[in-house]
A = this chain, B = another copy of it.
C-alpha cells in the first residue's frame, strides 16, 4: 500500500515523497479513528496523535476536519471503483460478475474494515457539503454495478423488467445491510463469507422456490 515504487523522486520534484507520506499517514489515521468514533466524535487532536504529527500539521495538508473526511472519499473510493472495475472485467459471466461484486464488497470488511466502516457510516453523517462530494463518487460505484446488470439484461441472462439502477441500489443496499448487522454484532469472518454466498444466490435466483 505505501509507495516504495518510486525510488528516486524523493526530492526531485517539489517536496513529494515525504509530503505524500505524511498526508497518507494522516488519512490512514483518520480512517482508523473515524471508524471507531465517527466523524463528529473524533477530535482533530486524536487524528494527529494517531498519525504521529502535531495538531497544526494536519492543517498543512487539509483545509479543515471535514476536508479530511472528503479526502478519504476522494482518494480511497476512487481506488475502490478501480478495483471493482478490474474485478468485474475478470468475470466469465454476469452471474460471476455479481458474485465478484458481492465478494469484493463484503471482503472489503475484512481487508479494510475501517475504510468500509467510514464509507458506510459516515456517508450518512454528511453535511450538505459532504454530500456534494460523496454522492458523485458513490454514484460512480453504483454505475459499475448497474453496468453489470445492464450487460446481463442485454445478453438475456438477466430479466429485463427491472431497472438496472434500482437493481444496483438494491444489490448494494442488501450488502450494506448485511455488513451493518455484521459490524454491529461483530460476528466472525466465516459467517460473513457464508452470508455473502447466500446473498449472491438470493440476489440471483430470488427467495421463491423454483418450480
Task: Spell out A's residues near B (CB within 8 Å).
Answer: 38, 40-41, 95, 98, 120-121, 124-127, 131, 135, 142, 149, 152, 156-159, 161-163, 166-167, 169-178, 180-181, 184-185, 194-195, 198-199, 201-210
Contact = CB atoms under 8 A, between A and B. Distances in A.
Contact of A178 (B121, B169, B175, B207): B169
Contacts of A158: 207-209
Contact of A203 (B98, B194, B206): B206
A55 to B, nearest CB: 13
A178 B158 CA distance: 20
Given A125-B38, A161-B201, A209-B159, A177 B172 contact: yes
Contacts of A174: 169-171, 173-174, 177
A149 to B, nearest CB: 7
Nearest to A158: B207
A109 to B, nearest CB: 14
Contacts of A198: 161-163, 166-167
Contacts of A201: 161-162
B124 A207 contact: no
B181 A177 contact: no
Given A38-B125, A163-B194, A167-B202, 11 more contacts: A38-B127, A158-B209, A166-B199, A169-B195, A170-B202, A171-B174, A172-B177, A173-B173, A174-B177, A202-B206, A206-B206
Contact of A199 (B135, B170, B209): B170
21 contacts: A38-B125, A38-B126, A38-B127, A120-B124, A124-B124, A124-B125, A158-B209, A162-B207, A163-B194, A166-B178, A166-B195, A166-B199, A170-B174, A171-B177, A173-B174, A173-B175, A173-B180, A174-B177, A176-B176, A205-B206, A210-B210
